[in-house]
Structure 1
């Protein structure tokens, strides 16, 4: 009887009401969008325990819609919406089949996956090399083109240009595309600010409860446990401060197909936005194991409120709580790893959403991902196989036009148009601040990629090199004779990019070069001492000595190995035991490594190289991956002064032999290469191939050749071949000649 009375009262209130219906206790919402298949309201479907409400003559039309006559737009299918808007399906629902969500117990016309309106959405990026910015703009484009997601105000912002304090009152949906590679970068300030905010006992635990966010991190798995650690921390701290996570943290690995991973994450994120429930505010409820923090919330002294003052008598307990909070921070961080705030999904190497365990069981992949291939190709590289590359050196172009050769011509007798610059491994174990490749190549400490055959690599490198030479045929000034000579490679500089000695079959590769009478100039970054010790004879073996101290090497080379200094010293010792020509390559970076004279001297005595090349760093423009400027580039006279100090400190056994002022390079050589007062730093290449093919042991003095007079240090030519045409750029500033001290 009571149910009948309630139904009659509710019906009369519907007739007399001019505003929205008052929801009943058994209804989730008061509005109804249409009728069910039986002609009745889809929200009043009878169940075994309830009776169907008898419709009032004035409140329900003949169509069966539960809205008033004024609001209803009657149609033949019984839907209370207009014919244009309705798309009645067979089940009688007034929404389309794509948008409707029909449950087992009836029609649910109000779908959670309809069109979503977002007032404001901001995409923040932090970029080292420009990749994060590129991805952020791409995400903006995808959101603009997305169906069922309408953003009224969409912005892409550099996180360094955003006032961090505004995040406390931010109401926009915030997406963070953050790049971090364990080096100093633009993300550091924001990370520090958020960390201080998270662990400041004066900040409320729900300080960011108005924020809805998602984070996608770009990193490099070669850093092991530090992979994407900054993005993980930011994602974690935002959740701990009460923000609502819309979608789990994305982890895009530079050593995999980073572009495909980001595409997968962004598409899944946009798909999540189509669900209206994803934008509902739901601050993360974190359960801490720290007893001190639990007690802190229940005590009379409210630490989380910024508006209350603490009485003097409460200061003692306050100090104890602060001390306890610091003590339990480590336990809290560990507890968080199993809390609701951590993302439960990660992006796999194939661009799909898979678990980390499943991702680790994938097959051996290629080193060069599609995105990396695109970046390197854009820079002029020709990719060979899955992990090798070749590129035309600018000095090759210069030599073809008769405008001079590189410093190796002055020091060792190489003609640049006969030289091929390549590498069998694009991966490296360092991320040097002066890397002219802008850190687009992969990094790693162990070989975990597919391995190509050495002959395949050499054939592919030579084929691509010749193709690039052929393309220079139409360049103005190319000499016909040198153009023809360039199709016979005589030298191979294994110093293009990466770490050539990292390639597992580097010995076989070098042997193939020598069999074809191609000399080998192999450069290593001194992180693989065992590889150096096992190396077959090469024409000339280099190690890069970029700093004289452990701290300096870490700052300059930014190595991945934790025992990088021990590996560095071991490499120098292995180099000292080689019988062939060995070289220390020192790249001087002003205000970084130019004051470590005594330390350099000790390293030289350890490895006893045949030669020491000292070169000023080349500024290649801003890359975002380092903070070098033209102020860090030393003048040639400063390089000369540095070398003179080195020679003086060594106290004998070494002298300055040659120079190439155009490259800002100086060659220091052992005095054993000075025969009868004349320097013999050049190489007798035919003799070298004879010695290699003989199989007998030989030394660096067995294949030396006389250095031409114009290459000797202190001559007017300063290392520039007088038979070449010196080409000066317009508006060139003339520097005074270097004054050579009398010996």
Structure 2
């Protein structure tokens, strides 16, 4: 009975287990079967590999004799006595091929490009320059200009011959692009005598229809992209230059088509010649300034041909002259995107130690005299008042040293950043805004506020040393610091000659940069303004007054910036065109944190300079420069800044956001992109400061702005506002006349003439586009947003990309 009940319950339990776990059971069975089949398959393949191949059936070897049809049947080939292998009676057998595992290794060497192998050199003693003038014209206007150019060059060449000049230039030849074979001129230079080298001059109109010029452009592009042809087949040319004719009534701006086809030809010619742009692209409005622009372009081309004919080539910055590169070379985007081999082999990167001079306290005691283990290269004692030094029985009587020796890491670091060191303690550097203005992309805020065009301005300093170590300084430890002048002193005339020569050399490097405007390049070869604010402290130089007088005699205006730490030098300074004082904080604690001054009595020095500025405000234009750094000197400091303005009563107050240099040293100083204010924050700060000044009955109002520089200008309404309009610009010629004593000031105090004042050289009214609320960008120039930095929806230009919206699009981070 018991066994029967077990048998009865067993099928039900199994059925319950099946219904509960049937999915798992089925999957397990399927997996097991698959594994078994896979194992059997793998083991079967291994057995086949190990077994010997099955022998094939024996085949009887049959000798087949190939007989010609004409050979009789009873005659064998051997009976003909034909020797088919006279050199070797045996038939050669091909050797066995040895196989290697892995990819085939291809060995060889890279051949230099054709442009480097065949690039022509010009011997000015034997070679001759052959100018070729190319033009394209529908209505005949461009043809007339080409004929005029031909005649002017012929006349000019005959003048050179009459003067017995060593320059050898042949009479120009004129070619109509509509009737030439492109292969004869634009795949390779024309065939001629070995000592004749060609120079191309191309005159082009602008059309909005398909013409021969469109075909010509396509041909240039195809030639460059043809894999059968070297990418720079015209590298044997001595150089080229393009001039475009356009109509600004039809195309108001370059982005909308003004001289667009000339710009395209200029770009493709740069690629085909290996960047041999001899003179910047010239552009003229046929209903406006075409005559003046063309004449400027012709004079520039003539100057270049003379330089080539005298053996100087295309000058600095051209291929073959060393290709100088500066740290801010990214500011000059290359529109050609040319792959050019470096003219010199790259040197191995070496770590050059650049010690922060303020942090050398631990090394000061290790001099050869006190430490026998110290080498001759150990640092000498440094005169700083920021840390204590042991009293010495004898004062140091060492001879003065050079501030920046050519063998020092400081020299290597500054030159790598693009500075040219003049003498032993001065420097010059081409400004980012100078490059921008040369390309028609806008000048800095000084043009909006005061009328200084950036391409006419030189940025220099007679002293690379400074007494502050500001957290936002672009050099961060790469320039010397100190509290007293203890170096070899260069003469002011040597400094002036050195910085101007270096500046012109750097301007000439821009000659081949795409987008540089011919007329502005020609204007830039005459320095009109000097900003003494490059690096270091200009008034630290003992002969600063002599240097300023030299500049004024050369009719170069001076904008000098000091850090309010040298009251004695400030009090003895001769009047400059405009005097700046950096006001980086409104109280002692903030100034210590942000400027990190070396003087222990820095606040007393700071206040003394403000008092001097107030006393001299009637002698020259004075400016407060406020640099706003979020987290350092913005929050709850409006009243403090207003106290400083009330104390010194400057003519102007410039408020700008800090420029983040992005170096590791900046991060160690506590500065990051979070400390860079948005323009809206700067504008809000200026509005609050203006309201605070008005509440104190101080006559200051918001005069102008330059959003591109994140900068706003406050000005004294009683002195620089005429008939209800702001007049912040400068009459520079009037300033020089006053300086030379040609005219006398008209202001009187009682019965005595007190001389000329800043109001005596006030210039034109501030233009409408520069006023507060108008943006401050010159409408004659073209605003170009860098990739990813422009506001979404703005137009694109050369080197542009789609901009970003939101905070990234509103933040202006540019070097000022």
TM range (shorter): 0.5 to 0.7
Q: Indicate whether 1:647 and 2:690 are aligned.
A: yes
Aligned to 1:534: 572
Q: In structure 1, which of residues 433, 451, 460 is the aligned counterpart of residue 489 of structure 2?
A: 451
Q: Offset of 1:373 from its aligned partner?
A: 1.1
State yes or no: 1:361 paired with 2:420: no
Q: 1:509 to 1:492 in 2, by over 3 A?
A: same
- How far does residue 636 in structure 1 lie from its aligned partner after superposition? 0.6
Distance 1:660 1:734, change over 3 A: farther
Alpha-carbon shift at residue 730 of structure 1 (Å): 2.2
Find 1:391's aligned residue among 429, 434, 454.
Answer: 429
CA contact (8 A) 2:366 2:378 kept: no
Contact 2:366–2:379 under 8 Å retained in 1: no
Matched, 1:228 2:361: yes
Q: In the aligned structure 2, how far is the partner of 1:554 from the partner of 1:178?
A: 27
Which residue of structure 2 aligns with residue 708 of structure 1? Answer: 767
Distance 2:451 2:432 in 1: 18
Instruction: Identify if the C-alpha distance between structure 1 residues 415 and 351 changes in structure 2 by more than 3 Å, giving closer, same or farther.
Output: same
1:593 equivalent in alignment to 2:633: yes
User: What is the alpha-carbon distance in structure 2 between the residues aligned to residue 403 and residue 495 of structure 1?
Assistant: 23
Distance 1:219 1:593 in 2: 25
| 1:182-221 deviation per Cα after TM superposition (whole angstroms, max 9, x unaligned) | xxxxxxxxxxxxxxxxxxxxxxxxxxxxxxxxxxxx552x
How far 1:650 sits from its partner (Å)?
1.1
3-state SS of paired residue (2:510): helix
The 1-side partners of 2:741 and 2:804 are apart by 52
Q: After superposition, what is the alpha-carbon deviation per residue over 1:75-120, rounded to whole angstroms, capped at 9, x for unaligned?
A: xxxxxxxxxxxxxxxxxxxxxxxxxxxxxxxxxxxxxxxxxxxxxx
The Cα shift of 1:348 comes to 5.3
Alignment correspondent of 1:604: 645
Find the residue that maps to 2:664 and give its secondary structure. coil
CA distance in 2, matches of 1:474, 1:219: 38
Partner residue of 2:782?
725
* Equivalent residue number for residue 629 of structure 1: 672
SS at match of 1:600: helix
Q: What's the counterpart of residue 723 of structure 2?
A: 676
Tell me, yes or no, if the aligned pair for 1:388 and 1:426 is still in contact at 8 Å: yes
Offset at 1:360? Answer: 3.4
**Counterpart-to-counterpart distance in 2, 1:405 and 1:178:** 36
What is the distance in 2 between the residues matched to 1:713 and 1:588? 19
What's the CA shift string for 1:687-716, capped at 9, x where partnerless? 11111111862212111121111000112x
Alpha-carbon distance in 2 for matches of 1:423, 1:669: 27
Give distance in 1, aligned partners of 2:734 and 2:353: 55
- Cα offset, 1:347, TM superposition: 5.0
Q: Report the Cα distance in structure 1 between the residues aligned to 2:379 and 2:605, rounded to whole angstroms.
A: 35
User: What is aligned with 1:555?
Assistant: 593
Establish whether residue 583 from structure 1 lines up as the match of residue 623 from structure 2.
Answer: yes
Kept in 1: contact 2:438–2:517 (CA 8 A): yes
Find the counterpart in structure 2 of residue 618 from structure 1.
Answer: 659
Q: What is the distance in 2 between the residues matched to 1:630 and 1:478?
A: 32
Task: Confirm whether residue 666 of structure 1 aligns to residue 704 of structure 2.
Answer: no
2-side partners of 1:510 and 1:410: how far apart? 24
Q: Is the 8 A contact 2:438 2:521 kept in 1?
A: yes
* Partner SS for 1:609: coil
Q: Please tell me whether the aligned partners of residues 356 and 478 of structure 2 are also in contact (alpha carbons under 8 angstroms).
A: no
| Residues 332-481 of structure 1: pairs in structure 2 closer than 5 A | 346=374, 360-369=396-405, 370=407, 371-481=409-519
Cα distance in structure 2, aligned partners of 1:392 and 1:406: 13
Deviation at 1:372, TM superposition (A): 1.3
Corresponding residue SS for 2:511: helix
Deviations 1:164-199 (A, max 9, x none): xxxxxxxxxxxxx999xxxxxxxxxxxxxxxxxxxx
Distance between the aligned counterparts of 1:567 and 1:228, measured in 2? Answer: 24
Q: Who is 1:84 aligned against?
A: none
How many angstroms does 1:533 deviate by?
A: 1.2
Query: In the TM superposition, what whole-angstrom CA distance separates every residue of 1:129-183 from its partner, at most 9, and x where no partner exists?
Result: xxxxxxxxxxxx99xxxxxxxxxxxxx9xxxxxxxxxxxxxxxxxxxx999xxxx
SS of 1:605 mapped into structure 2: helix
Please, what TM-score do these two structures have when normalized by structure 1? 0.53
* TM-fit CA distance, 1:649: 0.9
CA spacing shift, 1:456–1:496, aligned 2, 3 Å: same
- The SS at the match of 1:477 is coil
Distance change (3 Å), C-alpha of 1:250 and 1:700: same
Task: Report the counterpart of residue 702 of structure 2 in structure 1.
Answer: 656
Whole-angstrom distance in 1 between the partners of 2:372 and 2:630:
47
Root-mean-square deviation over aligned CA pairs: 2.9
Question: Residue 24 of structure 1 aligns with which residue?
Answer: none
How does 1:251-266 map onto structure 2 within 5 Å? none
Work out whether residues 622 and 629 of structure 1, in 8 Å CA contact, stay in contact via their aligned partners in 2: no
**Partner of 1:457: helix, strand, or coil?**
helix
Deviations 1:529-548 (A, max 9, x none): 12111111100000000000
Q: Distance in 2 between matches of 1:701 and 1:352?
A: 50
Contact persistence 1:419–1:491 (CA under 8 A):
yes
Aligned twin of 2:738: 691
> Deviations 1:380-438 (Å, cap 9, x if unpaired)?
00010010000000100011100100010101001000000000000000000000122
Shift of 1:597: 1.0
**Which residue of the partner structure matches residue 486 of structure 1?**
524
Give me the TM-score of the superposition, normalised by structure 2.
0.48
CA distance in 2, matches of 1:630, 1:352: 37
Structure 1 unaligned regions, length at least 5: 1-140, 143-155, 157-176, 180-217, 233-248, 252-260, 266-341, 739-743
Q: CA 1:424 to 1:391, structure 2 compared with 1: closer, same or farther past 3 Å?
A: same
SS in 1 for 2:626: strand
Tell me: CA distance 1:550–1:536, structure 2 relative to 1, closer, same or farther (3 Å). Answer: same
Q: Cα gap change, 1:677/1:467 in structure 2, threshold over 3 Å: closer, same or farther?
A: same
Q: 1:659–1:719: 8 Å Cα contact kept in structure 2?
A: yes
Per the TM alignment, residue 733 of structure 1 is displaced from its structure 2 partner at its CA by 2.3
Q: Is 1:571 the equivalent of 2:609? A: yes
Q: Distance in 2 between matches of 1:614 and 1:629?
A: 20
Compared CA separation, residues 681 and 347, structure 1 to 2 (3 A): farther
The 8 Å contact of residues 438 and 623 in structure 1, kept in 2 or not, is answered as no
Paired residue for 2:120?
Answer: none
After TM superposition, list the pairs within 5 Å mapping 1:191-270 onto structure 2: 220=357, 227-229=360-362, 250=366
Contact 1:622 1:628 in 2 (8 A): no
Change (3 A) 1:364 1:539: same
Distance 1:604 1:668 in 2: 11
Separation (CA, whole Å) in 1 of partners of 2:356 and 2:780: 50
Q: Deviations over 1:36-85 (max 9, x none)?
A: xxxxxxxxxxxxxxxxxxxxxxxxxxxxxxxxxxxxxxxxxxxxxxxxxx
